[in-house]
């Protein structure tokens, strides 16, 4: 099956410069490659600052990669002309983290949800637009009456539903949800996660679900990718990645997840200390890894298949099994 989204050796560099001194190059993404199949929910997890949001911006062509390709439906997005790219934007949308900041407080919900329709080549009429807005609001659990209200009249969960309705108004094939539930309380998170799974079943939408919440990924994702310092270090089915990690960093994330069974107990003795120094070559995780050997400090591991459907970038992944 042809992937809906195919990232090939994707890298993104940023330049950092103080008032005095040389220019430094920061690599936010380093040769990231992954595929997402149609109808799949792919979870992407990692610590804050590891490059998840940078990847999201590249996937929907809000930023230019330094190297690599973003293939959507077999087409390289950054090889298209600006006009051709604008025509294809209806097929991929984004739901942002902050349900308060992503909605314009000056506009009513009807105008906010209908906004993506205004950039379509064949813009629908006013009556058709109103019907589409009402249909989208009802599909995310809101009502037609909500179309005439302002964002400040809704709760956080309702605002995120409005953001999801806006993302779905153009019938996209791919929706990138960047920390879409992290600003919500637990009960509302569960409602939004159930909504995403329902939309996948009823509308066939493919999701790239970006989060640091392992429980949320475990609840809805088919496959998961673990990112560390701009690189994918492990991929595999969500049901087994955190139960049987093949990379020490994945194990660390799983151990750091709050657990009722570990409440009040001491931390595992194998938990490594955070070191400040990072090797200029070799594995970026080596200073924090309890399994690191000399090879890890001198040779960067490649992402490779360890067992069927599972990949890891670790020299000692077989021992993790």
Confidence (pLDDT) at 69: 95
Buried b (16+ CB within 10 A) or exposed e, 103-125: beeeebbbebbbebbeeeeeeee
Assess contact for 112 and 166: CB atoms under 8 A. yes
Confidence (pLDDT) at 153: 93
Element housing 30 (H / E): strand 23-36
Assess contact for 231 and 313: CB atoms under 8 A. yes
User: In the CATH hierarchy, which top-level class contains the domain 5-243?
Assistant: alpha beta
Confidence (pLDDT) at 276: 38
Assess contact for 54 and 28: CB atoms under 8 A. yes
Domain regions of the chain by residue span: 5-243, 271-321
Confidence (pLDDT) at 97: 82
DSSP string, 40-56: -EEEEE--TTSSHHHHH
Element housing 33 (H / E): strand 23-36
Confidence (pLDDT) at 280: 57
Rounded-to-integer distance, Cα 151 and Cα 106, Å: 8
Confidence (pLDDT) at 304: 93
Return the CA Rg of the chain: 21
How crowded is residue 308: how many other Cβ atoms within 10 Å of its Cβ?
Answer: 7
Q: Within 183-280, where are the H helices?
A: 186-203, 214-220, 238-241, 248-256
Tokens of 39: 């109808």
Rounded-to-integer distance, Cα 161 and Cα 175, Å: 14
Confidence (pLDDT) at 261: 53
CA distances to 237, 244, 263 from 270, in Å: 25, 16, 18
Confidence (pLDDT) at 205: 93
Burial environment of residue 36 by CB neighbours within 10 A (0 to 12, 13 to 18, 19 or more): buried
> What does each of the 321 residues of the chain score in pLDDT, given as a tens digit?
789 999 999 999 998 777 777 888 888 999 999 999 999 999 999 988 899 999 999 999 999 999 999 999 999 999 999 989 988 888 999 998 887 788 889 999 999 999 888 877 677 788 888 999 999 999 898 999 999 999 999 988 899 999 999 999 999 999 999 988 887 788 888 888 988 999 999 989 999 999 988 888 988 999 999 999 999 999 999 989 988 999 999 999 988 876 645 544 544 444 443 333 444 578 999 988 988 899 999 999 999 999 999 999 999 988 877
Q: Which residues make beta-bridge pairs with 76?
A: 71
Q: How many CA atoms lie within 13 A of 132 on its CB side?
A: 21
Confidence (pLDDT) at 248: 93
């Amino acid at each position: 099956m042809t992937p809906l989204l195919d990232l090939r050796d994707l890298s993104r560099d940023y330049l950092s410069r103080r008032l005095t001194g040389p220019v430094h190059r920061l690599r936010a993404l380093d040769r990231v490659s992954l595929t997402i199949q149609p109808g799949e929910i792919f979870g992407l997890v990692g610590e804050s600052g590891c490059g998840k949001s940078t990847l999201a911006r590249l996937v929907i062509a809000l930023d230019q990669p330094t190297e690599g390709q973003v293939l959507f439906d077999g087409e390289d997005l950054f090889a298209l002309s600006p006009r051709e790219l604008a025509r294809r934007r209806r097929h991929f949308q984004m739901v942002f983290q902050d349900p308060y900041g992503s909605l314009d407080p000056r506009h009513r919900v009807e105008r906010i949800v209908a906004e993506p329709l205004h950039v379509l080549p064949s813009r629908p009429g006013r009556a058709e637009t109103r019907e589409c807005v009402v249909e989208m609001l009802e599909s995310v659990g809101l009502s037609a009456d909500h179309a005439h209200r302002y964002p400040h009249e809704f709760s956080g969960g309702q605002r995120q539903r409005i953001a999801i309705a806006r993302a779905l108004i153009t019938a996209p094939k791919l929706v990138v949800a960047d920390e879409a539930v992290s600003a919500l309380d637990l009960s509302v998170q569960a409602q939004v996660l159930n909504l995403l799974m329902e939309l996948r079943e009823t509308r066939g939408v493919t999701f790239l679900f970006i989060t640091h919440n392992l429980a949320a990924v475990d609840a809805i994702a088919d496959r998961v990718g673990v990112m560390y310092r701009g690189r994918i270090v492990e991929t595999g089915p969500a049901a087994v990645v955190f139960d049987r990690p093949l990379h020490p960093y994945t194990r660390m994330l799983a151990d750091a997840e709050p657990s009722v069974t570990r409440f009040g107990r001491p931390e595992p003795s194998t938990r490594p200390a955070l070191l400040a120094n990072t090797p200029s070559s070799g594995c970026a995780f080596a200073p924090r890894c309890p399994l690191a050997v000399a090879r890890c400090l001198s040779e960067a591991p490649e992402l490779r298949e360890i067992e069927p459907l599972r990949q890891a970038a670790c020299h000692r992944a077989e021992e993790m099994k």
